[in-house]
Amino acid sequence: MKLPLHLVKPLTLAVAAAAALSTAHAQQPALKVGLMLPSSGTFAALGDAIEKGFKLYVQEQGGKLAGRDIAYFKVDDESDPSKATDNVNKLIKRDQVDVIVGTVHSGVALAMARAAKESKTLLIVPNAGADAITGPQCAPNIFRSSFSNWQPGYATGVIAAQKGYKRAMTITWNYAAGTETVKGFTEAFEKGGGKVVKDLSLPFPNVEFQALLTEIAAQKPDVVFAFFAGGGAVKFVKDYDAAGLRKNVPLMGSGFLTDGTLEAQGAAAQGLITALHYGDNLETPRNTAFRNKYAVTYKSNPDVYAMQGYDAAQMLAAGLAATKGDVKQQDALVAAMRKAQIDSPRGKFTLSPQHNPTQDFYVREVKGNYNVVTGVAVKALPDPGRGCRM
Ligand code: BEZ
């Protein structure tokens, strides 16, 4: 069929423009995403959930972000801070990734943040709460999709004080996540009229709790606050129950104590009360869709770690959308990430000026295999971002 002459020229131009656009996309190589997560050790399941969450969001976008295919480069960080600098440099120097997503362990993440700041590589932290990352070590190219350690500790302290407990003991691993979470708990608990009478700790990732449980039994505080996660949390909750302590000394914790762990903890965890920025039964269309998609894709239920991985991908997508996938335009990419409102399964959140989520912290109670939300501990809690200068 012959087209009328007045249509031939615009049509030719439109076809040429479309061809040019598709060539531009075709010319963009795959975006290199470095996943530095634990796939061995006590936090292995947490790393796995983060990766699954991240990839689920990418899959929902047709396997591309801002029109670019994604190539994954993976390093098992073993939750070992002594190997962290070498490990992160495999991604930065050897693989020359465009963005790093990681990790779980605060000590490992601190080394990653140092390397990312020096090399100006975009870093999105999908779990590790080390306060310094959005504090003294903050940087324009470093973001977090999870929490600062202070936040869930503080939220749990608020609930413990509201329950009228007066004397608390704390127990945790002796590294940044443990000590900073306990600090947050103590700040809120003592503001609410309580007193922390003793802090107990053991080295990460030890799980020989017996001597410390004996000390708790001897002191008989009104409540125990614990930070443990992953395999260590499973063992601690079971040991606490087996020692017969639950009848006499209520156990509370930041929600990591019971997240992703309930099948293994079984009866020992029933009724435990924690605070976290996620709960399994948040009945919003966004959370329901996320949980259904995750369950269908992976034949398992998502947890807080999966949700944080999913949101790390959402944050990256928000930045890439502003630069049409070009990570080299870092100022524009960072500006878009800073002002994004993330439509998260946890509820919508924005970022603090130091790049940490300002978010609601929920009260949760363990019922069966779920952390069921029973209220809000603190609404829109910002990370204080103490010491950040940017
Ligand atoms: C951390 O090391 O920051 C961490 C690890 C597991 C759960 C929560 C925090």
Each residue of 135-182: pLDDT tens digit?
Answer: 999 999 999 999 999 999 999 999 999 999 999 999 999 999 999 999
Q: Which of 64, 128, 80 is nearest to 100 (CA)?
A: 128
Interval between CA 128 and ligand 1 midpoint (Å) = 5
Interval between CA 107 and ligand 1 midpoint (Å) = 9
Q: Which of 324, 352, 307, 257 is nearest to 52 (CA)?
A: 307
Is residue 13 scored above 90 in pLDDT?
no
Q: Helix or strand or coil: residue 271?
A: coil
* pLDDT band for position 8 (cuts 50, 70, 90): very low
Each residue of 242-252: pLDDT tens digit?
Answer: 999 999 999 99
Cα–Cα distance measured from residue 233 to residue 258, given in angstroms and rounded to the nearest whole number: 7
Phi-psi region of 378 (alpha: psi -120 to 50; beta: other; left: phi over 0): beta
Q: Which of 105, 261, 308 to mutate to test the pocket of ligand 1 (most atoms within 8 A of CB)?
A: 105
Q: Which of 331, 350, 330, 353 is nearest to 342 (CA)?
A: 350
Interval between CA 351 and ligand 1 midpoint (Å) = 20
Listing DSSP states for 340-357 in one string gives: --B--TT--BEE-TTS-E
Q: What is the pLDDT of residue 27?
A: 65
Q: Which of 36, 110, 256, 276 to mutate to test the pocket of ligand 1 (most atoms within 8 A of CB)?
A: 256
Each residue of 263-305: pLDDT tens digit?
Answer: 999 999 999 999 999 999 999 999 999 999 999 999 999 999 9
Q: What is the pLDDT of residue 143?
A: 98
Ligand 1 neighbours, Cβ below 6 Å, are: 104-106, 127-130, 149, 177, 229, 256
* pLDDT band for position 28 (cuts 50, 70, 90): confident
Each residue of 85-96: pLDDT tens digit?
Answer: 999 999 999 999
Each residue of 329-381: pLDDT tens digit?
Answer: 999 999 999 999 999 999 999 999 999 999 999 999 999 999 999 999 999 99
Q: Which of 313, 389, 388, 390 is nearest to 131 (CA)?
A: 388
Q: Which of 229, 288, 269, 295 is nearest to 370 (CA)?
A: 269
Q: What is the pLDDT of residue 1?
A: 37
